[in-house]
Amino acid sequence: MPDRSSIPAGRRKRIDRLLATLNEKKLSGIFISQPENRRYLSGFRPSDPQLDESSGFLILGPDLALLGTDPRYEMEAFQQARGFQPFIYRGGLEGSWPELQKRLPPLKRLAFESPALSYHAYRRLRKWFLKGRAPVTLVPTFHLVEGLRAQKDPSELKAIERSLAITERAFQKVLSRLKPGQTEKEISWRIKQLIHLHGGDDPAFEPIVASGPQAALPHAESTDREIKKGEPVLFDLGSKWQGYCSDMSRTVFLGKPSERFKEVYRLVREAQLKAQEGICSGMDTRKVDGLARSIIEKGGYGTYFKHSLGHGVGLATHEIPSLNPLKADLLRPGMVVTIEPGIYLPGWGGVRLENMAIIRKNGARLLSQDMTFYNF
């Protein structure tokens, strides 16, 4: 039985909330394989090296807090996952499974994370559990832990704000030296260097630097193209600090802004401000998206707003909730979201402006401090 008293209070509270949900669903426990969920619940930080390679798993139940991993991560298991019982599978997971099962209490209905477990891994797990002392029924679940992660506690919010400050400082440094002739790749590489120099763990994602027609691609890849005077340059960047992500987008114009840029930029900024002012707890996410989308549609560019208004941010760059026009979720206090309308015009370029905000009982508090905006 794990020593629950040695699990840090914040994580113990998360585990208790999860166990309450499992109890409501008449589930004996849960098998956690998703890397951010492992970290959120146990503090075990290693990520999965690649899609078909795992750094470990958790099995949680009323009297069970087990972390399974291989010898590469033995020290991290003991140092980081306080209060969890480490199980180091030295003979490979399949060879060590009989030994693992001896440590497990009876588990009649064990939940697993269906989005995170490949079909191949599921079949292996099912085979192993069926060979145990008593057959275990594996029950697929969807976003049980992600639903908990959506509402941030004060320690998480502090980490996100620190991460965002690092991102904004990196952007300002790059912007201060921006000039024609620099390549998108060169600028992107500099952003990554600055994130580390300012204390970030890593970039939260590959920075986007898209100039001229490239900026018409919402998820453009930075290229060897040299940025030029007389065209827009779209930036999308983020950092990680203590595992927590940030995300920001700004669009600038090299030289004197053209009338077309002014028109598109004004619409995007108006849409962003409308959503920032109207977003609040209890609101349907489709309605939030509609606040911004209606502005862009009225301006005649509705078909060129090609993505959702925003998304949650935390241990992953994209988390629950999604502020989109298709799926209804309710915003709750403590959720951290992006507000990022955009217009993308093939052959010309695009404009995206992205801020981060935390949902409060009444309205939202803007987390972004960078005010690199035009007032046309």
The CATH number linked to 62 is: 3.40.350.10
Do 107 and 136 reside in the same domain of the chain? yes
Question: Residue 364 contacts by C-beta under 8 Å, 6 or more apart in sequence?
Answer: 276, 279, 280, 337, 357, 358
Q: If residue 308 lies in a helix (H) or strand (E), which one and from where to where?
A: none
Question: Residue 257 contacts by C-beta under 8 Å, 6 or more apart in sequence?
Answer: 265, 374, 376
Q: Are 89 and 100 contacting, i.e. CB atoms less than 8 angstroms apart?
A: yes
Q: Which two tokens stand for residue 1?
A: 């039985």
Q: Which amino acid is at 241?
A: W
Q: Are 333 and 360 contacting, i.e. CB atoms less than 8 angstroms apart?
A: yes
Find the domain containing 251 and state its range: 154-366
Q: Which two tokens stand for residue 167?
A: 């991102």
Nearest to 306 by CA among 259, 358, 360, 352: 352
Quote the number of domains for the chain: 2
Do 261 and 163 reside in the same domain of the chain? yes
Cα dihedral 290, 365, 250, 185 in deg (nearest 10):
-110
Provide the pLDDT for residue 52: 79
Q: How many CB atoms lie within 10 A of CB 150?
A: 21
| Residue 180: φ, ψ to 5° | -55, 145
Domain boundary among 103, 131, 149: 149
Nearest to 222 by CA among 174, 271, 258: 174
Residue 181 lies in a domain: yes
Cα dihedral 196, 199, 204, 210 in deg (nearest 10):
-50
Rounded distance between C-alpha atoms, residue 251 and residue 236, angstroms? 9
Residue with tokens 């699990």: 7
Q: Please report, for the domain that includes residue 285, its CATH number.
A: 3.90.230.10
Do 293 and 353 reside in the same domain of the chain? yes
Residue 374 lies in a domain: no
Q: How many CB atoms lie within 10 A of CB 21?
A: 17
Domain boundary among 114, 149, 184: 149
Report the share of the chain in percent with pLDDT over 90.
87
Burial group, residue 297, by CB count within 10 angstroms (0-12, 13-18, 19+):
middle
Residue 376 lies in a domain: no
Do 12 and 132 reside in the same domain of the chain? yes
> What is the tens place of the pLDDT at every residue in 256-282?
999 999 999 999 999 999 999 999 999
Residue 173 lies in a domain: yes
Q: Which two tokens stand for residue 51?
A: 């899609």
Do 290 and 164 reside in the same domain of the chain? yes
Residue 260 lies in a domain: yes
Provide the pLDDT for residue 223: 97
Q: Is the pLDDT of residue 93 over 90?
A: no
Residue 100 lies in a domain: yes
Angle at 121 between CA 115 and CA 125, to 5 degrees: 110
Do 215 and 327 reside in the same domain of the chain? yes
Q: Which of 38-52, 81-95, 342-356 has the highest mean pLDDT?
A: 342-356
Residue 169 lies in a domain: yes
Do 163 and 103 reside in the same domain of the chain? no
Nearest to 14 by CA among 121, 156, 130, 135: 156
Do 217 and 256 reside in the same domain of the chain? yes
Q: How does residue 94 score in pLDDT terms, banded at 50, 70 and 90?
A: confident
Q: Are 360 and 350 contacting, i.e. CB atoms less than 8 angstroms apart?
A: no
Rounded distance between C-alpha atoms, residue 292 and residue 314, angstroms? 23
Do 212 and 292 reside in the same domain of the chain? yes
Rounded distance between C-alpha atoms, residue 220 and residue 209, angstroms? 8
Do 189 and 119 reside in the same domain of the chain? no
Q: Which two tokens stand for residue 96?
A: 């060590």
Q: Is the pLDDT of residue 33 over 80?
A: yes
Q: Are 276 and 341 contacting, i.e. CB atoms less than 8 angstroms apart?
A: no
Range with the lowest mean pLDDT among 36-50, 94-108, 167-181? 94-108
> What mean pLDDT comes out for the span 352-364?
96
Residue 375 lies in a domain: no
Rounded distance between C-alpha atoms, residue 272 and residue 124, angstroms? 47
Domain boundary among 149, 175, 200: 149
Do 62 and 106 reside in the same domain of the chain? yes
Nearest to 276 by CA among 333, 329, 339: 339
Q: Is the pLDDT of residue 51 over 90?
A: no
> What is the tens place of the pLDDT at every residue in 322-357?
999 998 899 999 999 999 999 999 999 999 999 999
Q: Are 211 and 227 contacting, i.e. CB atoms less than 8 angstroms apart?
A: yes
Predicted structure pTM score: 0.94
Q: Which amino acid is at 34?
A: Q
Do 66 and 166 reside in the same domain of the chain? no
